[in-house]
Amino acid sequence: MRSRGWFAGLLVAALAAALCFLTLPVLAIFVDTAPRDLVSSLGDEGTLEALGLSLKCTVVAVALIVVVGTPAAYGLATRSFRGRAALITLVELPLVLPPAVAGIGLLAALGPRGVLGGLVEDAGLQLVLSTAGVIVALTFVAAPFYLRQAQASFEALDRTWLDASRTLGASEARTFLRIAIPSAGPGLAAGLALAWGRALGEFGATLMFAGSFRGITQTAPLAIYERFSTDFTGALALSAVLVAVSAALLLSVKLLSGSAWLGGAAR
């Protein structure tokens, strides 16, 4: 009993320390400035421009990720082949890459002097320092979040449903569209929200690959960094918006994946 009391105390202390450490910076964003100042600096044209650009770029990136990532994840989940584990690891690698490494990698691959730079140019595409480049950077860093979640959701499906659909004469494409996607829907949506959250917060790869220019490549995180030195209140206001949006995305992940987010017991 004595030792159990001691350990329980340690758990409570560790949990309290973790909670304080992790929530304090987020709360401070809202405490440091009067709500009125936060709202008024949101009316600033540049702030709205940055938020609008972030919205536009993340929506396009997430759409690309879902359109290509869903069949890719289905393939990974339903096929077994040599090197599958290695392939999955490669696809997931950007998940743990430092953003600066992602930025350098994108430049080395798709930059004007990159491996495929000539091809990109011949195709008439302008990626570096352009909005398209922001979308490329966001897609690169966020895609693994969706792929991973989508693959897990497809793997969790009851194979007998898919087999039944095939036995009843549906093609595999039809089975994928009509059975697999709807059944895995909540998991896919959770993956989408995770990828969206990551794309929304992207900073390093965007700055290195796409640069920073108002209305073209300066997304909300880049605008926060620019404002840090001249307009701390404006930086806080933008941060507050990103906290709210990110929290909403996280909440939707929790709700979609069916876990109770408040007062739930461990399962």
Partner 1 sequence: MRRAAALVAAALLAGGCGGEDASGGSGGKPRLVVSAAASLKQAFTAYGRSFPSADARFSFAGSDELAAQIERGVRPDVFAAANTKLPEELFEAGLVGRPTVFAGNRLVLAVPADGGEVRSLRDLRSPGTALAIGARAVPVGAYTRTVLERLPQAERAAILANVRSEEPDVAGIVGKLSQGAVDAGFVYVSDVRGAGGRLKAIELPAALQPDVAYGAAVVKGARHPAQARAFIEGLLSGDGRRALAAAGFEPPPPR
Q: Which stretch binds partner 1 (CB under 8 A): 7-15, 164-172, 249-257, 259-267?
A: 7-15
CB of 18 to partner 1, least distance (A): 10
Q: Is 10 in the site for partner 1 (CB under 8 A)?
A: yes
- The CA distances from residue 100 to 9, 105, 161, 196, 220, in Å, are 41, 8, 44, 19, 18
Q: Which stretch binds partner 1 (CB under 8 A): 13-21, 156-164, 173-181, 245-253?
A: 13-21
CA dihedral 228, 231, 235, 237 (to 10 degrees): 160
Q: Which stretch binds partner 1 (CB under 8 A): 9-17, 88-96, 151-159, 189-197?
A: 9-17
| Residues numbered 199-218 forming contacts with partner 1, rule: CB under 8 A | 207-208, 211-214, 216-218
Count the residues of the shown chain that bind partner 1, applying the rule CB under 8 A. Answer: 34
Q: Which is nearer to partner 1, 153 or 206 (CB)?
A: 206
Tokens standing for residue 110 = 């798709």
Q: Which stretch binds partner 1 (CB under 8 A): 4-12, 41-49, 158-166, 191-199?
A: 4-12
Name residue, tokens 């507050």.
Answer: 240
In the chain, the N- to C-terminal Cα span, in Å, equals: 25
The number of beta carbons lying within 10 Å of the beta carbon of residue 96 is: 8
CB of 228 to partner 1, least distance (A): 5
Closest to 55 measured CA to CA, from 228, 210, 199 = 199
Q: Which is nearer to partner 1, 121 or 163 (CB)?
A: 121
Q: Which is nearer to partner 1, 17 or 48 (CB)?
A: 17
The number of beta carbons lying within 10 Å of the beta carbon of residue 196 is: 24
Site string for partner 1, 117-156 (x = CB under 8 A): x----------xx---------------------------
Residues that bind partner 1 (CB under 8 A): 2, 5-10, 12-14, 16-17, 107, 111-113, 117, 128-129, 207-208, 211-214, 216-218, 225-226, 228-230, 232
